[in-house]
Amino acid sequence: MIVTAPSRPAAPPVAAPIRALLLPAVMTALMLALLLGLGFWQVHRLHWKAGILAAIARAEASPAIPLGNDPPAFAKVRATGRLNPALHATYGAEVRDTEAGPRMGAQYLEVLERDGAPPVLVVRGWVPEGVTPPTPAGEVAVDGFVRRADHAGLLSATDDRTGRRFYTLDPAVIGAALGLPTVAPFTLVALGTPRAGDYPQPATTLPRPPNDHFVYALTWFGLAASLLVIFLAYVRRTLRR
C-alpha cells in the first residue's frame, strides 16, 4: 500500500499584481518628480522675490540716486530740470475719495526739461477731473521711480491726442502728441506725501511685485502628496485582489 503525502496549496501568483503595478508606478514616479520639481522651483522663486522686496525696501529708505539713461529697476531716482507748464497731459481714469466726495480723475503728466539729456515725462500724481495744478517755477528736483513704456493693444482704450488724454503710458506717443521731437523712453513717477485738498496727489511708495510663490509651492507639494496617497491606495487594493 502506497501512502501519499497531502499536497500543499499552491502559492498565489505574484507576477500578475506586479505587472499591473509597473506602468502606474512609472507614471506616478514621473509625475511626482515633475510636481516636486515645480514645488522646489517655486521655493527658489520665493527667496528670489524676497530678495527683490528687501532691495526695494532699502532703496525706499535710502536717498535717491541720480537718474541715468538706463535706470535700474525698483530704484528711487532723482531727476533735476524745469517743468514746462505748457506741456502737460493726463493718463488713465480713476475715482478717488476727496473732501467733496468721490470724484473721477487721472494722473497728471508734465515734461521735465533737462540739460544735456532728453526731456522726460513726469507723472506728478492724481488730480480730479477739471483741475489743473500749479507748476513749480525754476529748477526742481523730482524724486520718484521709473516706469517702463507701455504699448497699446487691441483692447486698449483709444487715446484722445487732441485733448491730451491718454490711456496707455507710452512716452513716445505722448511726447509726439505734445510736439516733442525726442523724449526719454520711460516715465518718472513722482514720489511724495499727499495732503488733503492739495493736488496732484503723488505716489507714496515704490511699486512692489507680488510674492505669491509660497502659495504656489504649497499647491505643487500638495498635489505631489495627493498623488502619492492615491498611488499607495491603488497598490494596496491591487495587492489584495
Q: What is the pLDDT of residue 167?
A: 96
Q: Give the C-alpha separation, 213 to 219, whole Å.
A: 10
Residue 72 lies in a domain: no
The percentage of residues in the chain with a pLDDT greater than 90, rounded to a whole number, is 70
Position 233 pLDDT exceeds 70 = yes
Same domain, 180 and 88: yes
DSSP string, 154-219: TTSPPPBTTTTEESS--HHHHHHHTT-S---SEEEEEB----TT-SSB-B-S-------HHHHHHH
Same domain, 143 and 108: yes
Confidence grade of residue 16 (pLDDT, cut at 50, 70, 90): low
Residue 7 lies in a domain: no
pTM (global) more than 0.85: no
Same domain, 223 and 177: no
Average pLDDT over residues 40-66: 93
Residue 195 lies in a domain: no
Same domain, 24 and 100: no
Same domain, 87 and 126: yes
Same domain, 151 and 94: yes
Same domain, 160 and 231: no
Position 158 pLDDT exceeds 80 = yes
Total domain count for the chain? 2
Which residue bears the cell 494722473? 107
Q: What is the pLDDT of residue 5?
A: 53
Same domain, 32 and 91: no
| Span of 15-24, 75-84, 163-172, 207-216 with lowest mean pLDDT | 15-24
Same domain, 219 and 163: no
The amino acid present at 1, given as its one-letter code, is M
Q: Give the C-alpha separation, 112 to 119, whole Å.
A: 6
**Among candidate residues 206, 180, 201, the one with its CA nearest the CA of residue 114:** 180
Per residue in 171-182, pLDDT (tens digit) is 999 999 999 999
Position 10 pLDDT exceeds 70 = no
Which residue range forms the structural domain that includes residue 223?
15-50+211-240
Average pLDDT over residues 146-150: 91
Same domain, 235 and 171: no
Per residue in 90-143, pLDDT (tens digit) is 999 999 988 888 999 999 999 999 998 999 999 999 999 988 999 998 999 999
Q: What is the pLDDT of residue 4?
A: 59
Residue 218 lies in a domain: yes
Residue 201 lies in a domain: no
Same domain, 83 and 180: yes
Peptide bond into 200 cis (omega under 30): yes
